[in-house]
Amino acid sequence: MTMNRVVRLKSRPVGMVKRDDFEIADEPLPEPGEGEFRVKVEYVSLDPAMRGWISPGKSYVPPVELGAVMRSFAAGIVDQSNHPDYKPGDAVAGMLGVQHYALSKGERCFKVDPSKAPLERWIGGLGMPGQTAYFGLLEIGTPQPGETVVVSAASGAVGSLVGQIARIKGARAVGIAGGPEKCRYVVEELGFDACVDYKGGNLAEELKAACPDGIDVYFENVGGEILDAVLARMNMFGRIPVCGLISAYNSTEPVPGPVNFRSILVNRLTVRGFIVFDFQDKMAEANEKLGTWHAEGKLKMREDVREGGVDAFPDVLNLLYTGGNLGKLVLKL
């Protein structure tokens, strides 16, 4: 008899997540009720925002409750269905949770086409991370031809697309990433104009050298010292979409704010936080554009696929906060 192996939140982590913050156990296979279908999950998405989902307190979505299945995007194949729009064999992606089998009524779930891209890519560059890059850059960053766009976590799922979309729009793309391997990947494989290694010890100077005309758009994924270095180089009327502040997600102490906050006033910057769901009404447009650019070979995407099943979830998640992944991090079940 097949069981469903499930990751449930046991306690709210302090600092980095630990194996012991989760209950990982076999449960009976769930049966789809009326209007439901069951998905055999094949890939679980690991996203920086997950750390916020399991923290207490106000955030942009309610926290995962203690005892609940760990929330996640995931992709898989429908294996049973009582839903009129989904049939066994359909490939789907959506909010399915960290588990081998998930029930869905179709909410926050969509069918994907594995002939156009492998299944794991639909929770990566062609899924939520791709949409996040698209909306944050184009709706808030609004890069103009010839402008300089800087993005932190440039080798990651979102950042890697931000720079490529910036170049499609005629802007100059400069990444910030950790270590020479990631920087090489960002420039040589993704085609960014430059990439600065924030671990190199000369962030301010290297950023200046990489952005001789200053910075018009900064797509913010990390916060902390990198944000300060960028604020010091922003041009007048620059835009800063704030997508994430990864550097602070595991902090157990209050994190200092940017010392160069004054740059917002002096340079008349616009700093705006967002999440992908704020642009729900334009999702079809984003998916169409991302799909077209991908098919034309203009968007390179790379998944960092980890093995180990759901039991590996806590350790693999932590790679996002230690810089241990290269490309969109996914867990293969």
* H-state helical runs in 22-147: 50-53, 128-135
In the bound state with a second copy, the residue whose beta carbon lies nearer, of 23 and 277, is 277
Rounded least distance, CB 191 to a second copy, Å: 28
Q: In this structure, what token pair is assigned to residue 152?
A: 């932190």
Q: Give just the sign of the alpha carbon dihedral 158, 72, 322, 309.
A: negative
Instruction: Give me the amino acid identity at 15.
Output: G
* Residue 78 vs 243, nearer CB to a second copy: 243
Q: Closest separation between CB of residue 11 and a second copy, Å?
A: 22
Q: Identify the DSSP state of 117.
A: S
Q: How far is the CB of 215 from a second copy (least distance, A)?
A: 14
Of 281 and 307, CB closest to a second copy: 281
Reference 42, options 81, 108, 98, 83; nearest CA is 98
The answer to whether residues 303 and 121 touch, using CB atoms and an 8 Å cutoff, is yes
Distance separating alpha carbons of residues 103 and 125, to the nearest angstrom: 24
Cα-based angle 275, 198, 19 (whole degrees, multiple of 5) = 60
Please say which residue, 86 or 218, places its beta carbon nearer to a second copy.
218
Least separation, in Å, of the C-beta of 235 and a second copy? 11
* Minimum CB distance to a second copy smaller for 60 or for 110: 60
83 versus 233: smaller Cβ distance to a second copy: 233
CA atoms within 13 A on the CB side of 306: 24
Of the candidates 219, 215, 217, 220, the residue with the CA atom closest to the CA atom of residue 235 = 215
> How far apart (Å, rounded) are the C-alpha atoms in residues 35 and 233?
54
User: What number of other Cβ atoms are within 10 A of residue 157's Cβ?
Assistant: 31
Strand partners, 177: 197
Least distance between a second copy and beta carbon 233 (Å)? 11
Binding site for a second copy (CB under 8 A): 52, 58-60, 223, 228, 242-245, 248, 254-262, 264-275, 278
Q: Which of 49/333 has CB closer to a second copy?
A: 49
Shortest distance in whole angstroms from residue 219 CB to a second copy: 13
Residue 85 phi, psi dihedral angles, 5° rounding: -95, -10
Under DSSP, is residue 241 helix (H, G, I), strand (E, B) or coil? Answer: strand
Residue 157: CB minimum distance to a second copy, A:
17
The least CB distance from residue 220 to a second copy, in Å, is 8
Q: How far apart are CA 12 and CA 29, in angstroms?
A: 27
Q: For the packed helices 224-231 and 203-210, what is the interaxial angle rounded to 10 degrees? A: 50
- Nearer residue to a second copy within complex by CB, 110 or 237: 237
